[in-house]
């Protein structure tokens, strides 16, 4: 989790929920993110964490790892393509 000024996750007694794999805990973390004054800074942090093969862990900017993996997945028609797309391409397409 990033240490951002004013971030609700940093001051929350349940801060471990942002790194949980339990659905109810993830949903709790995501709901607090939507009220967080640092959500834009968190989104920038999240984007900076991507590298070639990795998706940032935990709940960041109101999205879980699973949410972000769903955004990266695409169907391919032929056996030569890959099902994983580039995240920056999704952003340019407005997804």
* Domain definitions of the chain by residue range: 8-92
Q: Which residues sit opposite 60 in a β-bridge?
A: 63
DSSP percent split of the chain into helix, strand, coil, nearest 5: 45, 5, 50
Q: What is the pLDDT of residue 74?
A: 67
pLDDT in tens, the chain (95 residues): 789 999 999 999 999 999 999 999 999 999 999 999 999 999 999 988 877 667 788 999 999 999 988 877 766 566 566 555 555 455 555 55
**C-beta atoms surrounding 83 within 10 Å:** 9
Tokens read off for 4: 């951002």
């Amino acid at each position: 989790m990033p240490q951002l000024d004013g971030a609700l996750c940093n001051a929350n007694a349940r801060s471990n929920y942002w790194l949980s794999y339990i659905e109810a805990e993830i949903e709790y973390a995501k709901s607090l993110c939507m009220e967080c004054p640092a959500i834009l800074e968190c989104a920038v942090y999240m984007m900076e964490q991507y590298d070639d093969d990795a998706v940032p862990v935990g709940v960041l900017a109101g999205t879980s790892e699973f949410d972000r993996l769903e955004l990266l997945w695409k169907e391919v028609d032929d056996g030569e393509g890959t099902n994983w797309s580039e995240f920056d391409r999704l952003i340019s397409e407005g997804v």
